[in-house]
Amino acid sequence: MRNEQIYNSWSKIKPDAAAHERMLVNILDRPQECSVIAGLTRNILSSGLKIIVPIAACIIVLMVVFIPHIGVETPPAAVTPPPVEEVLTMDQARSCQNFGAFLPSNTPERFSLDRVWRSTHEDNEMIFALWYSERDTVTWQISNATAHDLSLVVDANNRAKFDLSLYTIPWFESVPHDLMQYVMNPVFLAHEITIGMVQARAVESRGGGVQINFGILFDNIVVTISATGLSPTDVWEMILQILNY
């Protein structure tokens, strides 16, 4: 069917002999894939059989279209295994050799533990903890620091990279483009973080209350914190429980 459609479309154009020759020259100029076709066509032209030029042109077009696809197999895409997730108790999570020490021992009384789980993907491992209170939540993610995490580390003295009080919503209109990645997801060095830096991350959420997010780098471990409904003081008290690591 596709061959017939190409042939019918070609027939409607009805080029003269000169036009056929011009089109053949253009086709013959295509590299590599037309080398075999080129030899065949030049033999046809040199023989003086001008009467079959239109037919030869149609054959050449079909060969150019179909030959590159004959016998070509697309290699199968590499399959990446999905992450393996394991639900843990808080005691099990705290006993994890690499990450357990970075889980807070206490949370505000109104918050209850929802769940804790470990996610392993190839060579990467993470521990997540989620607490909730009605519509408010606190998430705590612990993982080995990646190159991306390290690229987001900010200087405590460079407040333009993390202080949300310097900008207005919508952020894309007030935050300089070159600072956006830092302002949205800053990572603080553990030995530099202060309650003032936590306060600088507090912003009123759409549903009311306060929303806070940032990361803390402990050598090669990064703790990513996201909280809604907690005051900066509440978050700071949770951080103090892991700062002595």
Residue where a domain terminates, one of 17, 46, 69: 69
Count the Cβ atoms, other than its own, within 10 Å of residue 61: 18
Q: Are residues 90 and 9 in the same domain?
A: no
| Region of poorest pLDDT, from 12-16, 76-80, 117-121, 142-146 | 12-16
* pLDDT confidence tier of residue 209, bands split at 50, 70 and 90: confident
Shared domain for 91 and 182, answered yes or no, is: yes
Same domain, 169 and 89: yes
Q: State the distance between the two ends of the chain, measured CA to CA, in whole angstroms.
A: 72
Packed helices 17-28 and 53-66: angle between N→C axes, nearest 10 degrees: 30
Q: Is the pLDDT of residue 104 over 50?
A: yes
Query: What is the average per-residue pLDDT within 233-237?
Result: 95
**Between residues 130 and 9, the one the model is more confident about:** 130
pTM of this prediction?
A: 0.66
% of the chain at pLDDT higher than 90: 54
Strands 187-189 and 210-218: parallel
Number of domains in the chain: 2
Q: Which of 27-31, 110-114, 193-197 has the highest mean pLDDT?
A: 193-197
